[in-house]
Each structure stands twice: as structure tokens, then as C-alpha cells.
Structure 1
Amino acid sequence: MDLADLNPATLMRQTLLGMSRNDTLRDALERAPITRDVVTRFIGGATAQDALAVATELVDTRRLVTVDYLGEDTVDPQMATDTRDAYLELLSVLSEAGLTQGGTVEVSLKLSALGQALGRDGNKIALENARAICQAAANAGTTVTLDMEDHTTTDPTLLVLHELRKDWPWVGAVLQSYLYRTEQDCRDLAYEGSRVRLCKGAYKQPESVAYPDKQDVDRSYVRCLKILMEGEGYPMLATHDPRLIEIATVLADKAQRAPESFEFQMLHGIRPDEQLRLAASGAQMRVYVPYGDEWYGYLMRRMAERPANLGFFLRGLATKG
């Protein structure tokens, strides 16, 4: 596709996604004097104790939480083990603070961080690490959700999900509405007890597998949303879009769903007033809180999802650096 054929929003999104993979730019920004109030709008700190503090504040305002340890660039088994151990420490800290019972605070996992990309044994390594985390979550009285990454990992991730659900049927799945396949995946996973987070998707994908146009992604989201709301599972609706939130509310009413039978999810630092409004209305409102030193790629993808966030980040660099 020629750059002249791209609208400004699409061009900005693709530029930001490219920046997320630019190691030179990453090194420069990580060395820049970015103060805590810039990064922590989106990141829950560097340590498990930092994540605990953020989670406690959110729970105190009637919001649920899912915590993600940032560490996708796993290049050897030891790094995968270190990520597993970080989750075990996190669950221990959250449990000791009394935040995990009933799934009030749960964790989200990226299988790439647990070793999925490590050659022929990658899926096995990731599965075994995920098993250890799921057992720790079960001991703490909470749940785990498997994040979805680029389209090449969709089938391997769903296979790991299937294996984990044999022992822990509450393990959550994530589906991305920008993929053509997702409507069928929603049908396959909309069964009783199945927790499914529906998001739009944040990775750059070829047009052979994903809708290139934002309006088509939104339409797909609504179709998928309808399938999940009419199914027997537990939909987790990851969106900041006011129109999609309204549509979700209407579809939930039409399906005669009780407020506790589904939830909304938003990213830490995005539309906090709307998060509070939904929580105060009696809706289940969960906040996705990433933490850890590997914040750069995550932050760039958040900018790509919602380029207006870039203005906040750049203003922070200009005024706080």
C-alpha cells in the first residue's frame, strides 16, 4: 500500500507501531528524564509493591483490576522463568494484602513473555510456566487471563488456553475484533463458564488476516459483542469507545444479563472518570494495570490504539523532562 493511500489516523497508527519496534528510539526515550507523573499515568510502577499500591487505590474506588507484568522480549528460557517468578511474587503480594479473593484483582499473561517464541519447545515452556501461575492464582482465590498478541500466535495461544482450562476452567481468553476469524472464535468460546475479553487489537497485521479500516474493526466488534452477550459465557468488554459502551449496555439489557454477568475493561490512565462512572452505576469495571521496567513497547502500542494519548506523552516530555 502506498503511503499516499493512508488517511492521517492510519498513518499515525502505523508510525507508532513501527516506533514500538525501534530499539534506537526506545533506548533514547528510556534514558530521557521522564518523570514519574508522565509514565505512571499508564504504567503501575516498576515493582510488585508499586503494582500493589495502584491496585489498592483502584479497588478502594470500587474498580476491579487485572495486572500485567511487562516482559514480552523473552529470548531464552531463563528470562521466561524470571517472568514466571515475577508473577508468583506478584500474586503472593496481592494475596497477602487481601486483594485476590473472588477475582477482585487478577493477572494477565502474555505467553511470549513466558517463552512461547523459544523455538520448537516454546509452547511447552510457556504452558508449563502458565500452569505454575494458574496454580498460584487458584491458591490465592483469583483468576488468570491470557493476553492475545499478533495473529501468528492466535492458534498456539488458544491451544494453551484449552490445556489450562482442563484444570482451571476460569482461565480467560482474549479475542481481537480486527481479525477476520474472531466472530467464529467468539462462537467457539461463548460457552458457560468461559471468560472472554473482547478488544479491538493493537498489533500491526497484514490485510490478509485483519480489517485495515477502523470502521470495519468497530463493526466487527459489535458483531462479536452480540455473539458473546447472547452466549453462556462471561464477556469482558475492553473498550474506551463511548458508542461501543452504549451498545454493550443495550445488548446486555436485551440479553437480560445481570450486571455481575459481564464486565467492562479499560486501560490504566485512560478515561478514569468514565471508569468511576461505570463502577458507581453498579457495573463491573476492571482496570488493566501493567507494571515493570519493559514499558516502552506497551506504551507505544497504547499510543497507536488512541493517538490522542501521544499529545499527553509529548507534553510530559516537554514540560517535565
Structure 2
Amino acid sequence: MLRQAMLAVSKSRRAERVISTSPLTRDVVRRYVADDIAAVVAELTRRGLLVTVDHLGEEVTDHEQAEAAVSAYLTLLGLLPAGADVSVKLTALGLRLSQRLATEHAATICRAAEGRGVTVTLDAEEHDTIRGLHAVHAALRREHPGVGVVVQAYLPDSLERCEKLDGARVRLCKGAYTAPGAYTAPADIDRSFVRCLKVLMAGTGHPMVATHDPRLLRIAATLAVLDGRDAGGFEYQMLYGVRPEEQARLAGLGAQVRVYVPYGDDWYAYLMRRLAERPRNLTFFLRSLVSRH
């Protein structure tokens, strides 16, 4: 129930105004959202971690906003080292306006990224955008085979999606939205995650295991061994500001660990979804709002 309430708050303009204008919010936001993206990427790289960077913003309502998002990503690419990744939400590129428009904008980012040795991953969003997400991904892969895509385990068709994506870069996550008919019980979502993970690890693509769950991390490591994948054959992905010690531990063992780093002013919806996923984060956030200590 708390998760559902937080996801509802993430869509509330009134709550956004109250929270985003609070002078006590800034330090909390900076824990999960990069302020100086170049400095954060440099520091994570120095620690032996990979990065995927998300320029925050979604659900644009006109062509001008979509073009601005593309421009922001092209600027971002100039700040990233080879081997980095950018995470792109298609609604920021105009998916709500036109699937063709979003495809063209994503292709522009893919071409520029390839020129710098950077990969692109298409982020999953609300359930009614998933069909468009995979259609755009399939179209892009014809000329940009390295483009990745996200599969959310909370959706009941996630296993079928993973089976169809053999050979692709796939980020598997639990999912931070709601959807009719979706799995809601944590145990059901975890079981779906493991079913999908088995398919991805046994396949020919590049699994990107996006979770902080210790048990799922152990299962991923075991499956990698059973399926003969070395450290370069898959990667762990974790959020900026969440379990940094575990990120360092895994990297120290020789695993590929990629940190999902969001940045930009449009942080509200992203942060609320992160708080919905982890109640401990919500406690920290609320405590920070009522005290500067």
C-alpha cells in the first residue's frame, strides 16, 4: 500500500510543488541525483565502476521539448568516457506525440553515441508505453544492434519479452510503475525476475542485472557460473546513492558493475519512484525534510 501511495504521489503536481520547493530537499536529492554529472562520472570511473547516465525528463508534450531532450543527450555524450552508457526514456523524445518521431530522435542519439564508444539503453516506463518501447527498439536494432532495452519483471509478459530478445543487451529490473494485471506481491515479482534471468543468462545476449536485492544478486552470480559466463559476459546495475558499498564490493571481486546516474532538474518523479521501491529511503527522506541534522 505504501508503494502504491508513493507512486500516486509521484504523479501529483501539488505534491511536486511542495516537495521540490522545500529548502530541506536539496541535500536529499543530491544523494540520489547527480549535481555535477562530469565530476560524478569521473569519480565513479576512478573507483572502477561503469556508468549509465539518465538525463531526467519524461512525458514531453510538444516537439520543442523533445528536440531539447535530444540536444541534452548530445551534450551529455561529450562528457562521457568510452564504455559508458546513456539511458533514454522515449517519452522524453516524443513517444506520446509519435512513435516515428521518438524513433528518429533515438536514432540520432545512437549514431552520436556510437561515434564516442558509448552505448544506448532504452528505459521502460508506464505500461501503456511498453508496446511502443519494444517497437522502437526493434526498429533501431536493424542499424544499431548494440542498443539495449529494459524489461520489467513485474509485468506478466516479461518472460516472453526476454525470450524474444535473445542476442540483445537487456536490462532486467523489477519495475517501478503500476499496471493492470501486473504482479504486485514481492515474492511473485522475484519469481518472475528469476525466470527472466535464467533465460537471459542462458541466451546469447548481454544481461544487465538491475537489482539491489542480495538474494537475486547471489542467484545471478550462480547462474552466470552455470551458464559459463565470465565477468565480461554480463553486468550488475545499481542506482546512484543506493548500496554503494555493495557496488564497490562486487567491482572489487572483478565483476562489471554499472551505476545508474540520473541528473537534471526534472528529478521529482524519478525520486518518488525510488522512494516507493525502498521504504528505508522514504524514512531517510522524511527525516531529512523535518530536520537539517
Is the Cα contact below 8 Å between 1:35 and 1:320 reproduced in 2? no
- Partner letter of residue 241 of structure 2? G
Residue 56 of structure 1: CA displacement?
0.7
Is 1:201 aligned with 2:187?
no
* CA offset digits 1:50-106 (Å, max 9, x no partner): 111111111100000000011113011100000000000000122xxxx1x2x2x21
* CA offset digits 1:143-196 (Å, max 9, x no partner): 0000011221111111111111111100001001111101011111122xx100
How many angstroms apart in 2 are the aligned matches of 1:92 and 1:62?
20
Pairing partner for 1:114 from 87, 93, 98: 93
Which position in structure 1 is the counterpart of 2:46?
Answer: 60
Which position in structure 2 is the counterpart of 1:8?
Answer: none
Residue 305 of structure 1: CA displacement?
1.1
Which position in structure 2 is the counterpart of 1:301?
Answer: 273
Pairing partner for 1:260 from 209, 232, 235: 232
Is the Cα contact below 8 Å between 1:44 and 1:290 reproduced in 2? yes
Which position in structure 2 is the counterpart of 1:44?
Answer: 34
* TM superposition score normalised by structure 2: 0.98
How many angstroms apart in 1 are the aligned matches of 2:283 and 2:136?
38
How many angstroms apart in 1 are the aligned matches of 2:79 and 2:48?
20
Residue 319 of structure 1: CA displacement?
2.1
How many angstroms apart in 2 are the aligned matches of 1:124 and 1:252?
37
- The percentage of counterpart residues that share the same residue type is 51
How many angstroms apart in 2 are the aligned matches of 1:37 and 1:296?
14
SS in 1 for 2:92: coil
Is the Cα contact below 8 Å between 2:19 and 2:25 reproduced in 1? no
Is the Cα contact below 8 Å between 1:137 and 1:144 reproduced in 2? yes
Is 1:26 aligned with 2:16?
yes
Which position in structure 2 is the counterpart of 1:14?
Answer: 4
SS in 1 for 2:91: coil
Question: Any stretches of 5+ residues in structure 1 without a counterpart?
Answer: 1-10
Pairing partner for 1:224 from 169, 181, 196: 196
- Partner letter of residue 91 of structure 1? L
Residue 35 of structure 1: CA displacement?
5.3
How many angstroms apart in 1 are the aligned matches of 2:245 and 2:72?
31
Which position in structure 1 is the counterpart of 2:211?
Answer: 239
SS in 2 for 1:131: helix
Is 1:151 aligned with 2:127?
yes
Pairing partner for 2:139 from 157, 163, 167: 163
* TM superposition score normalised by structure 1: 0.89
How many angstroms apart in 1 are the aligned matches of 2:112 and 2:38?
17
Matches for 1:129-140 after TM superposition, within 5 Å = 129-140=105-116
- Superposition misfits of 4+ residues, deviation over 3 angstroms: none
The alignment of Structure 1 onto Structure 2 pairs a total of residues equal to 293
How many angstroms apart in 1 are the aligned matches of 2:286 and 2:25?
12
Residue 213 of structure 1: CA displacement?
1.2
Which position in structure 1 is the counterpart of 2:257?
Answer: 285
How many angstroms apart in 2 are the aligned matches of 1:56 and 1:75?
33
Is 1:77 aligned with 2:77?
no
Is the Cα contact below 8 Å between 1:266 and 1:275 reproduced in 2? yes
Is 1:183 aligned with 2:159?
yes
How many angstroms apart in 1 are the aligned matches of 2:269 and 2:130?
20
How many angstroms apart in 1 are the aligned matches of 2:87 and 2:69?
12
Question: Any stretches of 5+ residues in structure 2 without a counterpart?
Answer: none
